[in-house]
Each structure stands twice: as C-alpha cells, then as structure tokens.
Structure 1
Amino acid sequence: MAPGTQPDAAASFDPLRPRLIRVAYRMLGSVTDAEDVVQDAFLRWLGTDRTAVREPEAFLRRTVTRLCLDQIKSARHRRETYVGPWLPEPMIGGEDEEEDDVTLPLMLALERLSPLERAAFLLHDVFGVGFDEVATTVDRDPAACRQLAARARAHVREARPRYRLEKARGLEIAGAFFAASRSGDMTALGAMLKADVSLHSDGGGKRSATIRPALGHAQVMQLHRALAVLFGKYGSTLVRTCLINGLPGFVTREADGELQTTALDIEDGRVAAIYIMRNPDKLRHLH
C-alpha cells in the first residue's frame, strides 16, 4: 500500500465485526442494540484516518465499549419501566459461550454492576485486554481499573460456572425436560429439579409470563402443572435443542405461533434455574 493511502474500511472492519458484536452484546444484553452499536462504530471508522491507527482491533474495541457505556444509561432507564423480569436477548449457538464462560446467570450478575465495573471486568477477565488498554478505554488510570475489575469479580463470583457441563449431557437433559414438561409427566419433571430451583420468564408485557420469579420446587412444579394442561390442549413444538447463552436449552414454537426459548442452569445433574424468553421483540433475530 502506498504511503498515505487509506486502507479499505470494510475490508479492515468486517473480519473484526463478530468479535466487536460479542463485546457489545455482553455489555448491553441485546443482540439488536449490539448490532446497532457496531454499525455506528463502522460509520465512525469510515471517517477515521485509518493510516494513523496502528492496531485497528484495539481502536475499534475502545470505540464500541465507549458507545456501549453511553447506551447503558438509556437501557437502564428502559428497564426501570419494564414489565416483569428482564432477561437478556437469547444468543443461540455454542462457540462464543464456551470460549469465555459468559453464561446467562453471569450476564444477569453483570447487570448489577456499574457500567465501568462491567466494562473493566469484561475487557480484562473475559476478553483478555491488558489494564493499560482498559484504562485508555474507560478514561481511568490502570490502578483504578484493577480495582473496578476486582470489585466486579467479587460481585459475580457466585454466578460464574463452577464446572463445565459436558455439552452432549446438557442437551440430553434439555431434551428430557422438554418431553416431561410438554407431556405432563410431573414425576419425571420433578425428579429433574433441585429443591431451590427458580423459574424466570420474560414476556416484556407483550406475551403472558410470570410477573415475579417462581422460587422453590413447589412453586415451579405448581406452575408446570398448569402449563402442562395448556400444552396438552394447544400444543408446543420443539424446534431444536441447543445452547442458549451458554446454557443447555431448547427453542419451541408455541400455540400462538411465536417462538420461545428455554435455558436451563444445571448443577450436579439437576436443574437449578429455568430462564424462559417469550418477549417477541427479543426473539425477532431468531427468525
């Protein structure tokens, strides 16, 4: 390339787009918002003197993180008026989640952190960015960034996976859970649940869902007994079993024609938490 010639913006940006979306998604918990932020970063990249950028990936990661920090303020305001429990948009797949262990419970724990704590933790602990770059990104000195990451680490420690469940075994449990819950086999379903199991359902006010989490074996079983009647009457079709935000689960098409995802947090071979996404706005990207 001749001196002073601008490298092609798309050619230098597109290979980095998946990694940038991973950063933005884990900051925001929204696939749609993450894609919008990354597209905004691309537009800024178009207007940048790219010949002066020595490390495009670090430059763009900083840009995306800063855009996310701005976005979090409005996202938190929206969640204050959100109907029922808020869950992150489901990310279907496997590779991303297995690489960095950012499972759905950890993403919920990240929501309780300050924006700067979340950025420091994700950049350093998840994506392996050095504290000097973290400091430049969030406009703090490296020592302050170490403290931010340490505080975040302490808050999310319980939500980090204690051990890696073998993927095939997890999907086997997810398939058995689907079969028992839809057929009304409450004996089989009850045997799969931990005593302190919880169920969280996000309908966003757009579809029926529990307004508060169901807590404990008795409450979760009571809810599933009622659901089994509806499944028996109206049906529920399995689309696929898969990893959802790093957890084994399944995608279904329900009687209203809409998709639904169910993710299972499994500990010691039993289901410790059930996360159901029913909000059609958060499922649109799956279509």
Structure 2
Amino acid sequence: MDDVERLRGRLFGIAYRMTGSATDAEEIVQDAWLRWQGVDRTAVRDADAYLARVVTNLSIKQLTSARARRETYVGEWLPEPVLTGQFDALGPLEVVAERESVSFALLLMLERLTPAERAAYVLHEAFAYGYRDVAGLIGTSEANARQLASRAGKKLAAEPRREQPVDRAGWRKLVERFVAAARLGEIEELEQLLAADVVSRADSGGQVTAARNVVSGRSKVARYLSGAVRRFGGGIEAYLTEANGGPALVAAGPDGVVAIAFIAVGADGVTHVEFVMNPDKLAFATAQLSQIGGLSDLTW
C-alpha cells in the first residue's frame, strides 16, 4: 500500500484542523502525494514523519495565504463542515477529546492563533506528537515548539466556553422545538428558547441570501432565524445529524446540502447559531452524502 494512502486519514486530519477547510485539506494531501512520487525513498528514514512534515508546512502556507484572501471575503467567514458519525473522513472520533479536536467551536477558536501556534497545538493536542517531534515537523527548536503550544493553549483557555456539554436527548428536543417555532413564525416561542445574548452568524460567501453581519440579541435573532428557516422550501428537508463530531442541523434537497447549522446550547438556551450556506463549503458534505444515498438514516 502506498504510504500516502496508508496515512491519508491522519494527513487529511492534520490539514483540516490546520486550515478549517475540507477542500483545502484534500488539495494539500494530493499535493503531498505528488511530492512523494518525486522523492528518493531510500533517502527517507521515516515516511510517516516526512509526509506529516510536508502536510504541516503546506497547511501553514495555505492558512497564511487564505487569511490574506479573507480580507475581501463577502460577509462572515466560517469553517467548512465535515459530516462525521458513520463517515470516516476525519478518522475515529470515539472519545470526547477526539470529537472536541474537530468541533466547530474549536475550529473557530483556532482562528485566533498564528499559523505556527495552530500547528504546534494541533500536532501536540490532537495527534499526541511530542514536542521534539512537533519541532521537527514545523522546523523549529523543541523549546520553541513547547512555547508555541503553551501560548496557543493559554489563548484558547482565555476564550469563554460557547456551550455546555451536549446531552443528546436534550439537544434534540430543544432543536426540534427551535425548528418548529422558526418554521411557524412563532417568534415568542422562539425567543423563549434563546439566551438573552444569543449570536447568529451566516457564511454565504455572497453566493446566496444571508445576513452578512453578526445578528445578536434574543429579539433580533428570533426574527432573523424565523425568516431564514421559512425561506427553505421546495423539497428542502432538515435533518438532525452529526458534523464535526457533534450535533448539527443539515438542510438538504435533491441537489445536495444547502445549509449546515451548528446550534450551541448553554444553561439559558441557545447561545450561538452558525449557518454555513456557501455552496463551495457544502460541496464536501454533499459528496459525502452521495456515498450513502442521503441523510434519512443519519439521525443524531
């Protein structure tokens, strides 16, 4: 078996956690494979380390250029979601730490880090590389790798928790009420499900109709969400399923996924609603669905 294929899950996982983009991660792994074809294998002592180093550095380069391009991005920028559960694109997510390492909330928080800090944190925390190995993968000293990871950890620890630990049955019940109230335009019912400081963001990339700025506050968010949900029709169905290791609301129609919403729930109700609606960022999830024929059996 080719080493890239053997390591594809790990390599994709590194690139995805680094860039927040499944599309970019696929391209990075493909680029690594092309480079691997031109390498003198006899000169490579450790194929695993070599390929991880190539993917890490390609990811740092991609993240740096992507952040520059985001200055002209239309509206809010959100990570690109990946369906999980029965899908293995991100590898096994069997324990809490593995699910948290790809959670939508963490990917958003990782945007606060420099590319080098993000690389050190991802490699050490998500893939359990020792600091000496991290140093080799990103091309720095062991002391600096340790410092980068420590600095990243402190920045993330300073971020307020967006949600409470997810209770599967409780989350499902609340979100079902949330969707029903939004569809029926029952604003008062919807407001009761939202925290006072609730925040909603939508990433459309300017390609579909969505709010281009953050909407905040119970009253404004209730009205915005009701209007947004009621616009979906014509064969569009909503499914409660799993994405990025946690619960998500997926809206899909005959042509594929049209929106994925991550709904964070705190002690006082829904605290954050993030809609990914940019068709380019939903292509990967649509391709995942094509492998199994649809979402009907994917309930969370």
Which TM-score bucket, shorter chain as reference? 0.7 to 0.9
**1:238, CA displacement in angstroms?**
2.4
Answer yes or no: is the 8 Å Cα contact 1:201–1:276 preserved in 2.
Answer: yes
Q: Which range moved further: 257-266 or 126-135?
A: 257-266
* 1:131 to 2:131 alignment: yes
Matched positions, count:
276
Give distance in 2, aligned partners of 1:76 and 1:101: 23
Offset, 1:19: 1.6
On the 8 A contact 1:120/1:148 being kept in 2, the answer is yes
TM-score, length of structure 1 as denominator length = 0.86
**Could you say which structure has the higher helix fraction?**
1
Cα distance in 1 for partners of 2:225, 2:212 equals 15
Between 1:29-38 and 1:174-183, the stretch displaced more is 174-183
2:99–2:245 contact (8 Å) kept in structure 1 = no
Q: Distance in 2 between matches of 1:61 and 1:118?
A: 15
Q: Counterpart of 1:127 in structure 2: which amino acid? A: F
Write the distance in 2 (CA, Å) between the matches of 1:147 and 1:116.
11
Q: TM-score, normalized by length of structure 2? A: 0.83
Measured against aligned partners, the alpha-carbon deviations of 1:80-134 in whole angstroms (never above 9, x if no partner) come to 1000000011111145495141321221121121110110111112211110011
1:274 correspondence with 2:265: no
**Which shifted more, 184-193 or 199-208?**
184-193
Corresponding residue of 1:205: 206
Give, in angstroms, the shift of residue 30 of structure 1: 0.9
1:50 shift after superposition: 3.0
Say which SS state the counterpart of residue 200 (structure 1) adopts: strand
**Structure 2: stretches of 5+ with no match in the other structure:** 86-91, 287-300
Percent of pairs with identical residues? 40
Structure 1 counterpart of 2:284? 285
The within-5 A match list for 1:35-74 is: 35-74=26-65
Q: CA deviation at 1:261?
A: 0.9
Match of 1:24 in 2: 15
1:104 matched to 2:104? The reply is yes
Q: Would the aligned equivalents of 1:238 and 1:250 in 2 still touch at CA under 8 Å?
A: no
Paired amino acid for 1:272: T
Please identify, of 161-170 and 235-244, the stretch whose mean Cα deviation from structure 2 is larger.
Answer: 161-170
* Preserved contact between residue 250 and residue 261 of structure 2 (Cα < 8 Å): yes
CA contact (8 A) 1:106 1:159 kept: no
2:175 corresponds to which letter in structure 1?
A: A
- SS of residue matched to 2:80: coil
Partner SS for 1:276: strand
Output the aligned Cα RMSD. 2.5
